[in-house]
Amino acid sequence: MNLQVDEGTDSGLILAAEECPPESFEKFHSFSTNDNVIIRKLSAHGPVLIRGGRGSGKSALLIEAYRRMRAGEAVFPVYISLRYLPLLQSDGPEYIQHFCMLLSEHIQKELSLRGFAEDFPSVSEEIRLQLGLAQLSQNLNRRIVLLFDDAAHIGREKPLEVFFDLFRTISSNLTSCKASIYPGVTKFGVRFDVFNDSTVVDISRSDVAAVPDFFPEVVRARYPKLAQRSMFSDRLSPQQFANLLGRAVVGNLRGFILACNRFLLQEKIGIPEMSKCFLEMAQDYYWPLMDEVAPKLGVYEPLIEPARELIEAIVENSARPVKSGQRTIAQDRVLIHRQLVSQNIKLFEISEYLGFVARREASRAMKSGGRGPVFAINLCSLLDSIPSTRLTNEMMEEWLSGAQEAAEIHISGQAFSSIKLPALVEEHGLAILTKQVSVLGKSSAYPYGLGPNVIDRLRNAGIHTVGELVSKTNEELDRIEYIGDVRIQQIRDVLYQAIWM
């Protein structure tokens, strides 16, 4: 998380908890009662998988657990981000080797940082890693908690099976493994039984009626100005502002912070300003997100268009009664027949991952027969599809209450009939790495992308693809004329956004 709002330098990475300077972490993060339960679980004995969409706050929870454990004396915690390119590019024994090396380096770094006299060997085999961890725990007289962030990349599933195998192997009474994963992670491999070898904790914040204090608390911590009553019109309270924004982005913290940023220069905030924010978010954040994420989806890249159609169909289904005058307010939740969901499961996972919808209930009986899950719909997209495209006080109150009846999409309906699922090829790595460097240029997907001059200079230096660029060291880039420290950092930031989830 970059705390500056200087658009020229934040490179769109202003929202990641792992980027927050440690000394500012506490000041800018707040945790609900439920978060504290999760943090305690992340600190306790036992393996845990923490599951949530992009920007749902998984990293913040892992880091906070790490911080709290560091303050105590019973545990030796290690936080490690697995955003490490060789892991993304390898599989099988090669993955194991990179993983063991990376983890042992991090453990040694943590030991040095904490001033412990013990050394941890640099190992490349899991058996030596296991032995090293057992020995370390005995020597420190503490149990060990390993917090793996970004363990799953939605576009690369094969190495995940190896990861879960390692997760299971190194978990013991002395070493507890915790990892963050996405809702779409379903391939756990043959040795890992997700129900017996871990406890899965889901992060969901889309129901602001059930937890009405969380988003107002985040605003008070991060944006004190936006928590002042004087900032708002008579018809909008700071509490409503925070909860409506939280509900609009279906509880996604990254989307929430981006939305809040848009109000920082406002002098007064009322319902028209919220309306404007929703519409702008729909146009310049959510739809471009599809383009940004597409090349990171690996084998699932061809599903991005069907996912777009799916979202449009869901939103249209909720907006249609308003268009035809049957309703005055669009339904903000939708109950979809489970057969339709299972037929299009990856599309739903991508939509959830991007924050267009959030699963609210696992299963509910439909009026028209059958059952299915209930999804909360992103209010930015919903408002954008209503003819008036104008938020009203009545909409705000109804959407905040959570009492509105959910729309339904039944198996016999035609809502998804035009969606065609393309055949998927074998997993072959991420498409983004083979794309031309020009894809990193300024665009709606990369608002802080590279200028044409920089792209030309990279090409002239023989760097044509994103894969070639990412493999260059800072020293190699520095040798290119007119590319210095600032540009190198910009290149690294854009690459980070382009490759990682």
Binding segment (CB under 8 A) for other proteins, from list 21-29, 32-40, 477-485, 488-496: 32-40
**Minimum CB separation from other proteins for residue 108, in Å?**
19
Q: Is residue 190 within the footprint of other proteins (CB under 8 A)?
A: no
Of residues 45 through 64, those in contact with other proteins by CB under 8 A are 45-46
Look up residue 325 and give its two tokens. Answer: 């005058």
Interface region with other proteins, contact rule CB under 8 A, candidates 71-79, 294-302, 413-421, 460-468: 71-79
Nearest distance from C-beta of residue 37 to other proteins, angstroms: 7
Q: Which is nearer to other proteins, 74 or 424 (CB)?
A: 74
Place of tokens 């998380």: 1
> Does the footprint of other proteins cover residue 196 (CB under 8 A)?
yes
CB count, 10 Å around CB of 39?
21
281 interacts with other proteins by CB under 8 A: no
174 binds other proteins (CB under 8 A): yes
The DSSP secondary structure of 267-313, one letter per residue, reads: S-B-HHHHHHHHHHHIIIIIHHHHHHHGGGSGGGGGGHHHHHHHHHH
Question: With CB under 8 A, what is the number of residues at the site for other proteins?
Answer: 42
266 binds other proteins (CB under 8 A): no
- The sign of the CA dihedral 81, 83, 88, 94 is negative
Binding flag, residue 279, other proteins (CB under 8 A) = no
Among 11, 30, 43, 275, binds other proteins (CB under 8 A): 43
Is residue 193 close enough to count as binding other proteins by CB under 8 A? yes
| 303 close to 422: Cβ distance less than 8 angstroms | yes
Which of 364, 390, 435, 464 binds other proteins (CB under 8 A)? It is 364
CA 50 to chain centre: 12
Q: Is 117 in the site for other proteins (CB under 8 A)?
A: no
Q: Select from 365, 421, 424, 425 the one that contacts other proteins (CB under 8 A).
A: 365
Near other proteins by CB under 8 A: residue from 4, 141, 414, 473: 141
Segment near other proteins (CB under 8 A), from 190-198, 383-391, 424-432, 492-500? 190-198
Q: Among 120, 84, 123, which Cα is nearest to 101's? A: 123
Q: Which stretch binds other proteins (CB under 8 A): 9-17, 119-127, 161-169, 353-361?
A: 353-361
Positions in 393-452 near other proteins (CB under 8 A)? 403
Q: Does 202 bind other proteins (CB under 8 A)?
A: yes
Residue 416 Ramachandran class (φ > 0 left, ψ -120 to 50 alpha, else beta): alpha
- Provide the 10 A C-beta neighbour count for residue 166: 24
Chain-centre distance for alpha carbon 365: 30
Select the residue interacting with other proteins from 153, 308, 359, 472 (CB under 8 A): 359
Taking contact as CB under 8 A, which single stretch among the options 9-17, 116-124, 360-368, 478-486 is the one that binds other proteins?
A: 360-368
Give whichever of 140 and 461 is closer to other proteins, judged by the CB atom.
140
d(CA 351, CA 274): 23
Instruction: Say whether residue 362 binds other proteins (CB under 8 A).
Output: yes
- Torsion, Cα 197 202 203 204, to 10 degrees, reads 180
Residue among 140, 269, 313, 461 that touches other proteins (CB under 8 A): 140
Cβ count within 10 A of residue 235: 10
- Give, as one character, the DSSP assignment of residue 202: E
Q: Which of 56, 104, 137, 331 binds other proteins (CB under 8 A)?
A: 137
**Sign, Cα dihedral of 444, 445, 449, 452:** negative
Judged by CB under 8 A, which of 3, 21, 40, 421 binds other proteins?
Answer: 40
Q: Judge residue 326's burial from the number of C-beta atoms within 10 Å of its C-beta, 0-12 exposed, 13-18 middle, 19 or more buried.
A: exposed
Helix, strand, coil share (%) of the chain residues, nearest 5: 50, 10, 40
204 near other proteins, rule: CB under 8 A: yes
Q: Is 74 in the site for other proteins (CB under 8 A)?
A: yes
Using CB under 8 A as the binding rule, whether residue 341 contacts other proteins is answered as: no
Report how far apart, in Å, the C-alpha atoms of 289 and of each of 17, 183, 473 are: 19, 18, 28
Supply the minimum distance, in Å, between the C-beta of residue 371 and other proteins: 7
CA distances from 437 to 408, 434, 462 (A): 44, 9, 11
Contacting other proteins (CB under 8 A), which of 2, 9, 34, 233? 34
CB of 200 to other proteins, least distance (A): 8
Parallel, antiparallel or unpaired: strands 357-365 and 371-377 = antiparallel
- 73: its two tokens: 């004396």
Give the DSSP H/E element, type plus range, for residue 393.
Answer: helix 393-401
Of the candidate spans 67-75, 236-244, 379-387, 492-500, the one that interacts with other proteins by CB under 8 A turns out to be 67-75
Least distance to other proteins, CB of residue 142, Å: 5
Could you tell me the sign of the dihedral formed by the alpha carbons of 351, 352, 353, 354, in that order?
positive
- Give the footprint of other proteins on this chain (CB under 8 A): 33-34, 37, 40-41, 43-46, 72, 74-75, 137-138, 140-143, 173-174, 193-197, 199-200, 202, 204, 207, 210-211, 359-365, 371, 374, 403
